[in-house]
Structure 1
């Protein structure tokens, strides 16, 4: 019984390897996911990037350091 299970698992692995390596052609997910997405953009040349100012850079987290303190003042709630 265990021999058949091992044989079936080996066969399933060989089939999966063959399909993943492109034995039956390329997979459907290997092509472009949204081929018309770039064609539908409205004025992509209007998109501009700008550097972050010093004030905006203070809010950015730095890997390996503590999180920045928020610029919000807290107070006790009254009931």
Structure 2
């Protein structure tokens, strides 16, 4: 029983080795994805980047900072 398991795992490893090294053709992620989108860009040189000002970045999470508190109004329950 254990011999069959070892044989199946060995064959699976050899198959994956062959797949990764391109014996069945190139992997789908090997080439450029959807290169037609690059050709459809209209004047890409006009795109500019600018930093966010603090008032614009209010909803942006800060990596490593504390989690923002929920904006919920609370009131005591009536008796």
TM-score range normalised by the length of the shorter chain = 0.5 to 0.7
**Secondary structure in 2 matching 1:55:** coil
Residue aligning to 1:50: 50
Gaps of 5+ in 2: none
TM-score normalised per structure 1: 0.66
Residue aligning to 1:21: 21
RMSD of aligned residue pairs (Cα, Å): 2.7
**Secondary structure in 1 matching 2:56:** helix
TM-score normalised per structure 2: 0.66
> Structure 1 residues 4 and 69, CA, compared in 2 at 3 Å: closer, same or farther?
closer
**Secondary structure in 2 matching 1:37:** helix
Report 1 or 2 for greater relative contact order, CA contacts < 8 Å, sequence distance ≥ 6: 1
Question: How many aligned residue pairs are there?
Answer: 75
In 2, the alpha carbon distance for the partners of 1:58 and 1:12 equals 51
